[in-house]
Structure 1
Amino acid sequence: MDGELAVIGLGSVGSMALWQAARRSGTGAGEVVGFEARTPGHTRSAVGGDTRLFRMTYRGGPRYAPLLERANLLWPELEAEAGQEILNRCGGLSIGARDGEYLPQLLASATADGTPFEFLDHDELAARYPQHRLRPDDCALFDPRAGFLRTDRAVLAATRAAREAGAEVLEDTAVDEIHEEPDSVVLRSGPRSWRFERVIVAAGGWSSHLLPPPVAAAVHPRRNYLTWFVARRPEEFTPERFPIFIRIESDRSLYGAPSTDGVTVKATLDGRSQPAEHADRLRRELTEEEITETRETVSEFLPGLVPSIVRADAFPDLFTADHAPLLGCLPGRPRTVFATGFSGTGFKIAPASAEAAVAIAFGEPATEAKEFDPARFGAG
């Protein structure tokens, strides 16, 4: 055996899995090994883009609530080990029409889950957050536990904490193949091979070739793009004055985060991912249509931003056919845990998903993962 547990991919979930596994009693000290095709936090992965939104009022439904609640506790633990801020709890707004489709559904979900929130009617919202230009029937839910995550910082902190706990990290080592045997799992990278008792597959957009055929047929990489704008008055868009936001209207949608550099603000169209041929081959530049719609939406919703895109990029992620993660084992393959296919929703729940994946790998219950059993796509 080359170790007790291998983690393939050290991105948003994989880095957290390596950290969670290495800190367990009896692991670490070379028994936990992370395989990364490039380097942790590299700029071409789904981690790219500086920040991700964290929110507890979430339209994904009640099945995500246990993972969100657990992540809400684990992010501070990582911050404590890292000695730096990873989650800035500036609060979060969910904006939409009072009688539209989005806001009533979110209100019902938050109420059913018992998630704390504050309802802001049109006038309250306008008075408290004048940065948003509202339509006549717009209202909002304010989530006091929401904020933004520093993605690069989080991944590097988790990887560093794992190393300090004894884990080994193999960079520039892409895993080409995995094969589960009765007593172990064999990994191959070019001419090299390793044997581990258990494996977690968390390679994001690069996971497809490591999945058995029925599951691989149900996933595909997609391109997600992000855009940034210059604030006319940067002091109005600081975390203290401008919470993260998601705005869903009948004809337009936008989400964003406060300025982290004192100059620019992230504001990006919601739900615009597009299929990609491969995670390594996706268009980084925006199309003219994407640029036009983004500028028009920002111009209407956020008049305090100059409606010219000053920075844009695109990143891959692995999506499943039902847009829900793969989190668990397949029948007949108890030593291989899949923690991938998060379909654009993975970062906020990354430490909780990783904790569940590690528990499953060691044969322990993880009830918060039961809704995301990979076997729903076939036994493999």
Structure 2
Amino acid sequence: MEYAAPAKRLDLRIVSQVGQIQAPCLLATQTEAIDRRAELVPVVDRAIELWRRLEAESGRSLYVESGALMIGKRESARVRHLARLTGVEVLDHVELHRRYPAHLVGPDDVGAYEDKGGVLRSDLAVVATAQLAVRHGARFVTGRAVERISADAFGVTTEAGGQSYRVRKVIVTPGPWTGSLLPELAPFVMTQRIMIA
């Protein structure tokens, strides 16, 4: 399989074996994950555990457990679903108003509060992961446009900045350029910037 890179500049990161480091691959609040698929609860729990491990190894605070509050109408399917879950506290409109007076709630509103919800400091998490990978032998090559990635039965060849790199495996992390780098994935990829103030 072969992919040509888009015209936009991408950083090439070649990562060698990193020993026993396991990087978390998914993070959402349990509430968000449960709302999509109940079977993701153990995955999210494991992700939070791995973020905590990365915090301990890197000495950085990465995941801020602040709790998650979802407010909706009492009759909504989403709220009913959340109300049945372990670890989710359901708050009627009176309790919502008492605890969160800044929210304007009506008599038909209810809240679902989940204390494991939080915010990942994603930029710091990327830096911490990269620093630990380097500490365990990884090599990063940056500032070069990826021109081509081609795989065969023996490995992967990546061409970037006029040089070829031959490796057993390559991890491609194009972020918002995924759809242009891998057009067959474009229908499944939606890029959305989320700002946290």
With over 3 angstroms needed to count, the CA separation of the structure-2 counterparts of 1:155 and 1:82, relative to structure 1, is same
Question: 2:3 maps to which residue?
Answer: none
Q: Per-residue displacement from partner, 1:13-53 (whole Å, max 9, x unpaired)?
A: x9xxx69x51438xxxxxxxxxxxxxxxxxxxxxxxxxxx8
Residue of structure 2 in register with 1:182 after alignment = 153
Which residues of structure 2 form unaligned runs of 5+? 1-9, 22-26
| Overall identity of the aligned pairs, in % | 33
Task: Evaluate the alpha carbon distance shift between residue 185 and residue 210 of structure 1 in structure 2; reply closer, same or farther with a 3 A threshold.
Answer: farther
Partner of 1:135: 106
Structure 2 CA distance for aligned equivalents of residues 158 and 120 of structure 1 = 38
1:172 is matched by which residue type in structure 2?
Answer: G
Q: CA deviation at 1:9?
A: 6.3
Q: Residue 169 of structure 1: SS of its match in structure 2?
A: coil
Match of 2:185 in 1: 216
Bigger RCO of structures 1 and 2 (CA < 8 A, at least 6 apart): 2
Q: Name the residue aligned to 2:73.
A: 97
SS in 2 for 1:142: strand
Alpha-carbon separation, structure 2, partners of 1:173 and 1:78: 28
Cα deviations by residue, 1:87-116 (Å, 9 ceiling, x for unpaired):
1112111111111243224445xx3xxx42
RMSD of aligned C-alpha atoms? 2.8
Q: Partners of 2:11 and 2:43 in 1: how far apart?
A: 21
* 1:183-198 equivalences in 2 (<5 Å): 183-198=154-169
Higher strand content, 1 or 2 = 1
Q: What does residue 171 of structure 1 align with? A: 142
Instruction: Give the conservation status (yes or no) of the 8 Å contact 2:63–2:118.
Output: yes
Q: 1:203-352 counterparts in 2 under 5 A?
A: 203-211=174-182, 215-219=184-188, 222-224=191-193, 226=195, 266=197
Q: Which amino acid aligns with 1:197?
A: R
Q: CA deviation at 1:177?
A: 1.7
Superposed CA offset, 1:296-337 (max 9, x none): xxxxxxxxxxxxxxxxxxxxxxxxxxxxxxxxxxxxxxxxxx
**Aligned pair 1:147/2:118, yes or no?**
yes
Matched, 1:55 2:24: no
1:122 aligns with 2:93: yes
How far is the alpha carbon of 1:57 from its aligned partner?
1.2
Instruction: Give me the whole-angstrom Cα distance separating, in 2, the residues matched to 1:104 and 1:190.
Output: 54
CA drift at 1:135: 2.4
Q: Which amino acid aligns with 1:22?
A: V
State the AA in 2 paired with 1:90. S
Partner of 2:20: 24
1:68 matches 2:39: no
**Matched letter for residue 30 of structure 2:** M
Alpha-carbon distance between aligned partners in 2 of 1:95 and 1:23, rounded to the nearest angstrom: 43
Per the normalisation by structure 1, the TM-score is: 0.43
Q: From the superposition, tell whether residues 142 and 9 of structure 1 become closer, same or farther in structure 2 (CA, over 3 Å).
A: farther
SS of the equivalent of 1:141 reads strand
- The one-letter code of the counterpart of 1:57 is T
